[in-house]
A and B are shown apart, each in its own frame.
Chain A
Amino acid sequence: MTLLAGSSACTTEDLEPSTEQNKPIEGGIISVSNLYGVLKGAYSMMTSSGYYGRDIIINGEVRGTDNCFSNGNSGRFTTEASLSYNPNSTYIWDNCYDVIASANVIIGTDATTLTGDMGEAEHYQGQAYVMRALAHYDLLRTYGQQHVGGTLGVPYVTEFKGEDLFPARESVSDNVTSIMADLDMGFSLMDDSYDDGSKQFISKFTAMAIKSRVAIYFGQWSVAATAAKAVIDSGDFSIVAASNFVSSWVGESAQNSIFELAFSATDNQGINGLAYIYRLGPNGSYGDVQVLDEVIDLYEDTDVRKDILGYEDDMLRNIGKYPNNQGYDNVPIIRYEEVVLNYAEALLETGDASGALTQLNLITSNRGATAYTVANKDNILNERRKELMFEGFRFDDLMRTGQDLVKTSLQQNILQTIPYGDSRLAYPIPRTEMDVNSNMEQNPGYGN
């Protein structure tokens, strides 16, 4: 008996599992190309349906705005459109922090220890900084209390598996400072000689373009003007001409694109993508997100942007943006026209109304629309609405200008006007986060 028990036929080593699909994180990043792999992984997370693949863009349109509503055709987005969400949904909370975790893996890697081109490594780290800034900005505009009378922002996470695994919320202003710092850092680290020009990766001026967006949102007008001007002065981008406007939504790497996420025939969100929710299509899609009937009246007949709209039976639809019904189109994250409009608004706010008018009319003149005779806040917001329609900007524009969500149409999912400051204008922190992290504070108006 002792003989048998004593003879170790199978040892601990016989029990070593294979890991054919994975590598250990420890020792898994030893070259610049390994770093590039993680970077692409982070981009891939941004394409997920819960983030830029669909939800964050749709939310910017349907959350009680005057652009779109959910007809509930497949039951999708009625909750968001009626602002009746609760903490059960994680919405973009998990998606954003996943991106941030990957960005932190890249940022936290000591580039000097890697084999390969150091400059290339820094270019990737620069992209990771911008990604981290953008993801935190998306969190902040979704969960931050800036429009509901509070001061809390979100945890700004800068380390992968760092010391504080239960972070508390920082203030909105601290978040903004961190975002700006990351964007500047990203800009300084990147070197566009490493950029492939595909627009599918963040480049140097993506950092500045996003900086102008964040600055506009938080009213840092001179910062916005400087950043936008830097993009414009780069000469790398141009406004797409009227004749090409509709077709610019088909295909890739258009001249007005600063940064777009890659979707292709083999890598797309399919039925969980933008096209499937914006249209019914000939074969039947979800088609929940319909356009309010009065949106058509925004556009002059000569305005090429009117061609983005169309009808399915008597339902007004987004026909032209993200046209491929399988979601094969790249999704622009920031395009040049937005930067021009950011610049116009920043100039107006810093006292240069004529400069603002010039910028504003660069848009109208390329769209077949009548030029404005004066630049004021309403005109700029109106032009932003028309130009950036269906791209997820409307809710934020209403919020940052302190406007109510006004019930003007029977079609809107909100039951009545929701005044600026209402607790529903901030998303609840997800219950899963609240359960785990007793440092986390819930937004007002949401139970357990």
Chain B
Amino acid sequence: MKSKFTWILTLFLAFGLQFSFAQEKTISGTVTDQDGLPLPGANVSVKGTARGTQTDFDGNYSLSASVGEVLTFSYIGQKSEERTVGTSSTINVQLMADSQALEEVVVLGYATTNKAELTGSTVQLNAEAIEQAPVASVDQVLQGKVAGLVITNSSGTPGSTTDIRIRGISSITAGNEPLYVIDGVPVVNNNVSATSSGSSLSPLASINPNNIESMTVLKDASATAAYGARGANGVIVITTKTGKSGKTVFNLSTSYGFSNDATDGPTVLTGAQREMLFYEALYNTYGAAYDFDIDGAQAFYEANTGSFGNDYVVWNAAGRPEAHWADVVTNRDAPIQEYNLSASGGDETSNFFASLGYYKQEATVIGSDFDRITGQLNFSKQLSPAFRFSTTNSASHSYQDGLLETSAYFSSPRTIKFFQPPIEMPYNEDGSINLNTTLPNPLWIAQEDIDDSKFTRIITNNSLTWDTPVENLSFTTRVNIDYQVYNYKRYRNRIDGDGSSTNGYGWQANRNRANYVFQNSVDYTWNVSDDHSFDFKVLQEYQKNRLYYLEADGDSFGDDGLTNLNSAGNPTTANSWYTDWAVASYMGLMHYSAFNGRYVFDATYRREGNSRFASDNRWGNFWSVGGAWNIHRESFLEGSNLFSNLKLRASYGVTGNANIDLNQYQALLNYDSDYAGEGASYPGTFGNNDLSWETSHTYDIGIEMGFFRNRITANVGYYNRESKDLLLDVPLSLTTGFTSQTRNIGRMENKGIEVEANFEIIRSNDFNLSIGGNFASNNNEVLELAKDAFGEEINITNGIKRVETGHTVYEWYMPSYAGVDPDTGVDLWYTDGEGSETTTTFSQANSVYQGSSALPTFTAGMNFHIDVKGFFLDAQGYYAGGHKVYEDWARYTNGRDLFTLLYYNGVDAILDRWQQPGDTGTRFGKMEFTTFPWQRDNKFLYDGDFFRLRNVTFGYDFNQDFLDTIGFSAARVFVRGTNMFTWVKDDRMKYDPETDATGYLKLATPPVKSVVFGVNLKF
């Protein structure tokens, strides 16, 4: 990096010698609207520079400018005005209403632009849509609001990660997560949790949503091109709040509410049902051979407890008590609370935003919660007429008391109802916890065991901008440090559960991440004439990520209640590792606007090098071009009553993806092995020196329309993204000793349409009514895969999913179930898919494609707003469909065998079973006294379509007269319901329809349904 700083100095010197500073003075004035009323918050900027301010509450502003410079005055919904600085120190401006130009400023990360001049496909959410959503992780607010964005929760446990897919899946091996950018800097957003058997923790859970000014989702090549090398999966740009000049404004927001599981999940068998089915199984299996009928099954059982155990004998003797495990582990009406206090303001030369926040959410099962303390300080100061310093700083500490989840963990409260026999009681008669249960008692586990994540994150982003003496040329240098400290602690008690066999078990892991970003950029605006202007940006960026990991575990604890490794008598693991990666880039961006934005053209180029590739293949080139034609600004539409906006846009570009494991290009020996007490090594990666970037080639066209002064708006777009040179873990013959080699091979296509529409049915001062929605489709097809020595394509089978050319990536692939044999009650399968011969032998049923994958092929969002005299009601819904999801643990939970009837428990769906010859149409075959092996067929593959009423908010904004008397500038009370209603298409699906992106219903924690009451005060 040494050479870079040398160069910065050179630039300073060069310009310093050539130009002298112009004379500056302070200009002040008042900005008013068409009615002469002051406009607070209007932007005043010196054209072609980054200098600017906003008007205060009385519409007053003040800033420094030189004679001859041009001041631009703008305000959303008003026509912008320009004034050249002359001899006067006072410039008052009246901005007239401009219904045609209700223009939103869109934040693109490295740049901002107004919506009309956008050539790419983006969606921006502003603060109001983000604040006070009762979620720990801010990305969750995006659901249903962005066409083409599919978001799924890995778990409803507060703080968990979410899977976001923008316009489908572009890569088979490399990541499909979008790039996250906070305040202009790419950040790392991997799950920070150290455990794969417990709750995940999202880095975004460390960010306070109330500090966010906007979130912009960049979808196409033109919009993402500035991040081209890593933009193939889309980019989510988060911008934190800044202060505005004027009197200090305080904002206090508090909310408190309650949450429960959004869906109840399957109902399990009661003890009585389970016993009945158990006798039926005995009868079906042994009745003929031992000559008893269904009514004689109980007697046969009781006479042979040596073979069958005596569980039900004991239960009957105890008076047949029912356990209701699901109820005892539920944390009903789990509280959610949030408190935020912020202050923002500024003077002529500086502004600030500062906030403190606290968020706490209990999980809907016992023994789990999440809380977070955050602080933010953003400060910006005009150091001198030419230099502006800006810093944004956030610090947070999150604590997540997690649990075992996402698989069939016996000690987890999330799985207990499926596995703990319902004939075993949670409590003893004296009220103490029953530790004599088949599986560990989750009441005891929640009380004694520990699964804690502590996550501290500090992000500091500092920039210095120099408005060079060259007109419209500015230089910015920026340093960002994202430092993350993570500690995980697991403890398993000595008495009952996973630690009892080793007299306790403890594990702690520490992971520190330091991520540095250095940026230098030059901005230049060239106003050729009134009708033509160019904006240029050239940027250089270097990012380095360092990850330090340290863990230890041990068992044989000295006493109960001592949970640190200090007390572990037998240390069993000590482990540490370090990894790093680096990215270097050069980027150039040009924006051309002609005739007041009638014609817009963007071109972007980025060259990026990544440490994941061998030195000869490290660098990739990415680019895009985009154009827009604002037809409504043409003379023939001027004054049109119909069209207030009519824009065509199109873009094409190449973006990249390098999101693969580190060091894959190198053929390496691994040393994380040992034998007989000594370290050992083995071949770890196959290696591939040719490894390089995966690229996505996207074209995107769209039309944006606004009718009747934008009362009706509609956008329709089409995209086609072909991903090439896929970073693919090409399976190797296992005879090589490796499973795969990462190569650049294969092609895949995603295409679809996206529609957004909004209709303001009533628009007036004190009564507004609007409805809107979005729709997106996504069609994925694998176009090409790697070939083996004979030129045959190598398909990739991953359990019950397969990747094959001509199919959707990871399409479901398994034998098809043919129902129950009406004569014998056994399961039947099609030997070769639906319609073929049937067989009773599972292994003779070939796997066939099931027509869809786990990724929705279409999604829709709906919103509704009404406000009347301060009262308002907002509702928002989300629909996803065209995909299928798989009930992963059906072998146990839906077993018509001993797993359900004797060892564990199962769902009550199995009551719909075959009982006697001639029974047809039952969902399940006969109960049998056996245990069936894994037989994954499409019986448990369900349509994934669902609708969810995501949010309903009802509130009241106090009117200004009242506020004036009590001294507030704004006050709002509201109640918000989240996930209040859920509909699923497939009535066999009892689990929550929101699975993670893999589509497996794996006993995961469902999202929460919450009701939150809130108060916001501004003063």
Q: Is the CB of B609 within 8 A of A84?
A: no
Name A78's contact: one of B542, B663, B789, B931 (CB within 8 Å).
B931
B18: interface (CB < 8 Å)? no
A316 to B799, CA, bound (A): 35
B668 & A19 in contact (Cβ 8 Å cutoff): yes
* Contact (Cβ within 8 A) A18 B734: no
Q: B892 contacts which chain A residues (CB < 8 A)? A: 75
A41 to B676, CA, bound (A): 10
- Residues in chain B near residue A431, CB distance under 8 A: 797
* Residue of B573, B831, B932 most packed against chain A (CB within 10 A): B932
Instruction: State the A residues within 8 Å of B (CB).
Output: 1, 3-5, 7-26, 28-29, 34, 37-45, 47, 70-73, 75, 78-79, 82, 84-86, 88, 90, 93-94, 97-98, 100-102, 104-105, 155, 157, 160-161, 165-167, 198, 200-201, 262, 264-267, 281, 283-285, 314, 325-326, 410, 413, 430-433, 435-440, 445-448
Residues of B within 8 A of A10 (CB): 1, 4, 540, 542, 584, 609
Q: Determine if A97 and B674 form an interchain contact, defined as CB atoms under 8 angstroms apart.
A: no
B844 touches A266 (CB 8 A): no
Find out whether the CB atom of A17 lies under 8 angstroms from the CB atom of B682. Answer: no
Cβ A7 vs Cβ B573 within 8 A: no
A410 to B842, CA, bound (A): 22
**Nearest-neighbor residue (CB-CB) of A37 within chain B:** B681
- Given known A10-B542, A42-B682, A266-B572, contact A17–B580 (CB-CB < 8 A): yes
Q: Size class of B's contact patch?
A: 35 or more
Contacts of B663 in A (CB 8 A): 17, 19, 22
B842: chain A residues at CB < 8 Å are 84, 86
* B418: interface (CB < 8 Å): no
Are B669 and A25 in contact, CB atoms less than 8 angstroms apart? yes
Residue B621 at the chain A interface, CB threshold 8 Å: no
Q: Which of B138-146, B237-245, B735-743 contacts A (4 or more CB under 8 A)?
A: B735-743
A166 in contact with B672 (CB, 8 Å): no
By beta carbon, the residue of chain B nearest A315 is B309
Query: When chains A and B are docked, how far (Å) is the Cα of A274 from the Cα of B520?
Result: 60
Check if B542 sits within 8 Å of A9, measured CB to CB: yes
Indicate the member of B578, B612, B799, B934 with the most A CB atoms within 10 Å: B934
Which A residues are CB-close (under 8 A) to B732? 165, 436
- Expressed in whole angstroms, the minimum distance between the Cβ of B250 and any Cβ of chain A is 43
Q: Which residues of A contact B619 (CB under 8 A)?
A: 12
Q: Closest B-chain residue to A100, C-beta based?
A: B737
- A447 touching B844 in the complex, CB below 8 Å, given contacts A14-B582, A267-B674: yes
Residue on A nearest B736 in the bound complex, by CB: A165
In the complex, the answer to whether A438 meets B792 with C-beta atoms within 8 Å is: yes
CB-based contact A447/B674 at 8 Å: no
**CB-based contact B668/A266 at 8 Å:** no
Give chain B's interface secondary structure class: mixed
- Contact check, B735 vs A167: say whether CB atoms are below 8 A apart: yes
Judge whether A18 and B578 touch: CB under 8 Å.
yes
Residue from B536, B666, B792 with most neighbouring chain A CB atoms (10 Å) = B666
| B1/A9 in contact, CB under 8 A | yes
The answer to whether A264 and B677 touch across the interface, beta carbons within 8 angstroms, is yes
Residue interface bits B576-597, CB-to-A below 8 A is 1, else 0: 0111111110101000000000
Query: A440 — nearest CB in chain B belongs to which residue?
Result: B733
CB-CB under 8 A from B922, the residues of chain A are none
Q: Which residues of B contact A79 (CB under 8 A)?
A: 933-934
A153 CA to B778 CA in the complex, in Å?
46
Interface membership of chain B positions 970-1000, coded 1 if the CB is closer than 8 angstroms to chain A and 0 otherwise:
0000000000000000000000000000000
B522 touches A25 (CB 8 A): no
- Residues of B close to A440: CB separation below 8 A: 733
Nearest opposing residue in chain A for B933, CB measure: A79
Give the distance in Å from the alpha carbon of A157 to the alpha carbon of B790 in the complex. 20
| Given A19-B663, A38-B681, A44-B675, CB of A432 within 8 Å of CB of B797 | yes
Q: In the assembled complex, which residues on chain B have CB atoms less than 8 Å from the CB atom of A157?
A: 735-736
Interchain nearest-CB distance for B15 vs A (Å): 11
B679 within 8 A of partner (CB): yes
C-alpha gap A94/B740 in the complex (Å): 12
Cβ 8 A contact of A439, one of B522, B610, B789:
B789
B733–A167 touching, CB < 8 Å: yes
Using known A-B contacts A25-B669, A94-B739, determine if residue A433 contacts B733 with beta carbons closer than 8 Å. yes
Complex Cα gap A265–B536 (Å): 64
Instruction: Select from chain B the residue with minimum beta-carbon distance to A84.
Output: B933
Contacts of B930 in A (CB 8 A): 413
Chain A residues in 8 Å Cβ range of B934:
79
Q: Are A98 and B737 in contact (CB under 8 A)?
A: yes
User: Is A23 within 8 A of B736, CB to CB?
Assistant: no
Inter-chain contact B733/A23, CB cutoff 8 Å = no
Q: Can you give 16 A-B contacts (C-beta < 8 A)?
A: A9-B3, A10-B540, A21-B670, A23-B671, A25-B683, A38-B681, A40-B676, A40-B678, A161-B736, A267-B675, A267-B676, A284-B500, A325-B501, A410-B307, A432-B731, A447-B845
Measured CA separation A162–B183 after assembly (Å): 51
Given contacts A10-B609, A325-B501, contact A37 B584 (CB under 8 A): no
Chain A interface mostly: loop
Among B662, B680, B932, the one with the most A-chain Cβ atoms within 10 Å of its Cβ is: B680
Segment 474-503 of B: residues with Cβ below 8 Å from A: 500-502
Bound CA span A285–B440, Å? 12
B670, A22: Cβ atoms under 8 Å? yes
Report yes or no: B682 in contact with A102, Cβ–Cβ below 8 A.
Answer: yes
Indicate the member of A18, A41, A79, A264 with the most B CB atoms within 10 Å: A41
Using CB atoms, name the residue of chain B closest to A267.
Answer: B674
Are B737 and A12 touching (Cβ within 8 A)? Answer: no
Tell me if A326 and B501 are in contact (CB < 8 A): yes
CB distance from A363 to the nearest CB of B (A): 29
B586's partner among A5, A16, A47, A284 (CB-CB below 8 A) is: A5
Select one of A25, A43, A72, A437 contacting B788, CB under 8 A: A437
Interface residue? B891 (CB, 8 A): yes
When distances are taken between beta carbons in the complex, the residues of chain A under 8 Å from B903 are 72-73
Question: Within the complex, what minimum Cβ distance (angstroms) separates B688 from chain A?
Answer: 12
Closest CB of chain A to B900's CB: distance in Å?
Answer: 11
Please measure, in the bound complex, the distance between the C-alpha atom of A368 and the C-alpha atom of B833, giving whole angstroms: 59
Give the residues in chain A near B682, CB-CB below 8 Å.
38, 41-42, 44-45, 98, 102
Q: How far, in Å, is B759 (CB) from chain A's closest CB?
A: 46
A22 and B669 form a contact (CB under 8 A):
yes
B936 nearest in chain A by CB position: A88
What's the minimum C-beta distance from B415 to chain A, rounded to whole angstroms?
13
Task: State whether A38 touches B669 (Cβ < 8 A).
Answer: yes
B789 touches A22 (CB 8 A): no
Q: Who on chain B is nearest to A27 by CB?
A: B669
In the complex, what distance in Å separates the CA atom of A42 from the CA atom of B501? 30
| Residue among A1, A281, A445 making CB contact with B501, cutoff 8 Å | A281
Neighbouring B residues of A44 by C-beta, 8 Å:
673-675, 680, 682
A41 to B673, CA, bound (A): 6
In the complex, what residue of chain B is closest to A156 when comparing beta carbons? B735
Task: Give complex CA distance A165, B789 in Å.
Answer: 9
A40 touches B683 (CB 8 A): no
Interface string of B795-826 (1 = CB under 8 A from A): 11101000000000000000000000000000
Residue of A whose beta carbon sits closest to that of B796: A435
CA gap between A53 and B611 in the complex, in Å: 38
Check: B570 CB closer than 8 A to any chain A CB: yes
Please give the distance in Å from B957's CB to the nearest CB on chain A: 49
For residue B909, CB closer than 8 A to chain A, the reply is: no
On chain B, the residues within 8 Å of A98 by CB distance are: 682, 737
Q: CB-CB contacts of B627-670 with A at 8 A, as 1s and 0s?
A: 00000000000000000000000000000000000110011111
* Least Cβ–Cβ distance between B562 and chain A, in angstroms: 19
What CA separation (Å) do A447 and B790 show in the bound complex? Answer: 22
Question: Is B572 within 8 A of A265, CB to CB?
Answer: yes
Are B579 and A88 in contact, with the CB atoms below 8 A? no
**Interface pair A22/B794, CB less than 8 Å apart:** no
Chain A residues whose C-beta falls within 8 Å of the C-beta of B540 in the assembled complex: 4, 9-10
Our pick among A17, A24, A101 for the contact of B737 (Cβ within 8 Å) is: A101
Is B675 a contact of A40 with CB atoms below 8 Å?
yes
Task: State whether B731 touches A435 (Cβ < 8 A).
Answer: yes
Cβ–Cβ contact B672 & A21, under 8 A: yes
* A22-B669, A167-B733, A432-B734 known; A4+B522 contact, CB < 8 A: yes
